Amino acid sequence: MPPEGGDVEAVAEQVFVALADPTRRAVLAELASGGPATATDLSARLPITRQAVAKHLALLADAGLVTAEPGEGRRVRFRLRSAPMRVAQQFLAALARDWDGPLDRLTRHLGGPDDPAR
């Protein structure tokens, strides 16, 4: 169940902050296409160091977009989590709905393309 009220906005904000960085988007894309992976696996597929990948994974985990799973020995595999992304999508959809009415009224007021007086 999605968070209520201000929690939705807080989750969406964390997702947007995480997605603002192109390297984090690349990490997420690699996890989406290749499945769960370690920081070492990801650094072999991306043009950044393992330490940089680990820092990005930590921020993505804080945003709830990835989860760490114990692997063999000390290896930790990271897996995508879609729930925070769905919350952010719901936030954007609600925002768009809130804008649709006022924008339609403004368009009609200004004599937009559907105005028969044009």
Q: Quick check: 115 pLDDT over 70?
A: no
Selected residue with higher pLDDT from 14 and 111:
14
Tens-digit pLDDT profile for residues 3-38? 544 588 899 999 999 999 999 999 999 999 999 999
Residues 56, 24 contacting (CB under 8 angstroms): yes
Q: What is the pLDDT of residue 43?
A: 97
Tens-digit pLDDT profile for residues 67-110? 999 878 889 999 999 999 999 888 888 888 877 676 677 777 78
Q: What is the pLDDT of residue 63?
A: 94
The residue among 81, 79, 76 whose CA lies nearest residue 38 is 76
- The domain ranges of the chain are 6-109
Tens-digit pLDDT profile for residues 35-76? 999 999 999 999 999 999 999 999 999 999 999 998 788 899
For the chain, what is the largest distance between any 2 Cα atoms, rounded to a whole number of angstroms?
73
- Report the CATH number of the 6-109 domain: 1.10.10.10
Q: What is the pTM of this model?
A: 0.74
The residue among 66, 48, 46 whose CA lies nearest residue 57 is 66
Helices (H), 1-118: 6-19, 22-34, 39-45, 50-62, 83-109
Q: What is the pLDDT of residue 32?
A: 96
Q: What is the pLDDT of residue 1?
A: 39
